[in-house]
Amino acid sequence: MTPSETAGFEFLRTWLNDRCGIHYPDKKRDLLEQRLSRVLRVYNVGSFQSLAGKVAGDGQHDIQLAVMHAASTNHTYFFREEDVLEQFRTRILPTFRGRGEYRFWSAACSTGDEAYTMAIIIAETEGLAALRRTQILGTDISAPVVERAELGIYGQRQLEYVPRDILQRYFRPIGMDQYQISPELRACCTFRRMNLKTRPYPFKRPFQAVFCRNVLYYFDKPDQIATIEALFDVTEPGGWLFTSVTENLREMPSRWQIVGSGIARKGT
């Protein structure tokens, strides 16, 4: 890169960290360069320097969102990290049995795979009627993936780990090797755009469990700690936090009680 291109790229990298909490260390520099290059092509921008100027300018909301989306894009799919989901199914979900409602949050939900997976697990474990008293919120910083989550349409790659009988019960084929999630599951899942770095979080009622998986490694250490503490504040006493098994909460000072790989609990 030329010095001006390097300066433009570094501005974008810093902007993503400051504005969104999305942190790309030097070892992931090439990945960020590839992702931002897609924005250059789509918006016909000739250089990182020009892109930085547009991101910094007023009235450039669309291109700012495009940069956020490109940087935060992560491959996601149904039934990811089955071991963690099995803990949710067999260990955590029974503790809420008999409650008037379920209130769960899929933070950084991407295209909704995780939120709908939670709904499927509830339907399979507690019965389809339990979905009528289930509220699952999915949030993500990227507007395009939130829109996709609301549509609930998925291709074969995201459904690779969905058992055939589950696919037949909760999805309907719509052609072109695509499937749409059933109306019952869509009815209990709500999706909104939200930046996890905008704290405190604007919820009036606490959640019983929060899934925040495969996103913390995008943040630098101070934002990781601030995020899990903010999640603690919106979780009810005795509630649960699920992170990825690769995101080690034991290395972070927090009020959460670590109970297993990728699982923490708020004290009662």
H or E element that contains 20: helix 3-20
Query: Burial letters for 8-22: b for 16+ Cβ neighbours within 10 Å, e otherwise?
Result: bbebbbebbbebbbb
Rounded CA-CA distance 232/255 in Å is 7
Q: Give CATH for domain 3-72.
A: 1.10.155
Tokens of 10: 């570094």
> Residue 16 has what pLDDT?
86
Q: How confident is the model at residue 83 (pLDDT cuts 50, 70, 90)?
A: confident
Name which of 208, 212, 186 is nearest 123 in CA terms.
Answer: 186
Q: Model confidence over 158-194: pLDDT tens digits?
A: 999 999 999 999 999 999 999 999 999 999 999 999 9
Rounded CA-CA distance 224/217 in Å is 8
> Residue 74 has what pLDDT?
65
Residue ranges covered by each domain of the chain: 3-72, 82-265
- The domain over range 82-265 is classified in CATH as 3.40.50.150: yes
Radius of gyration of the CA atoms of the chain, in A: 19
> Residue 144 has what pLDDT?
86
User: Which amino acid is present at 138?
Assistant: G
> Residue 84 has what pLDDT?
87
Return all residues near 33 (Cβ < 8 A) that are at least 6 apart: 9
Q: Which of 13-17, 59-63, 236-240 has the lowest mean pLDDT?
A: 59-63
Going by the DSSP 8-state scheme, the letter that residue 133 receives in this structure is G
Q: Model confidence over 113-160: pLDDT tens digits?
A: 999 999 999 999 999 999 999 999 999 988 888 999 999 999 998 999
Phi, psi dihedral angles at 103 (to 5 degrees): -130, 105
pTM of the model: 0.81
Topology match between the domains 3-72 and 82-265: no
Output the furthest CA–CA distance in the chain (Å, rounded). Answer: 63
Instruction: Please say if the pLDDT value at position 20 is more than 80.
Output: no
> Residue 152 has what pLDDT?
96
Report the percentage of the chain scoring pLDDT > 90.
57
Q: How confident is the model at residue 262 (pLDDT cuts 50, 70, 90)?
A: confident
> Residue 231 has what pLDDT?
97
Q: How confident is the model at residue 219 (pLDDT cuts 50, 70, 90)?
A: confident
Rounded CA-CA distance 15/235 in Å is 30
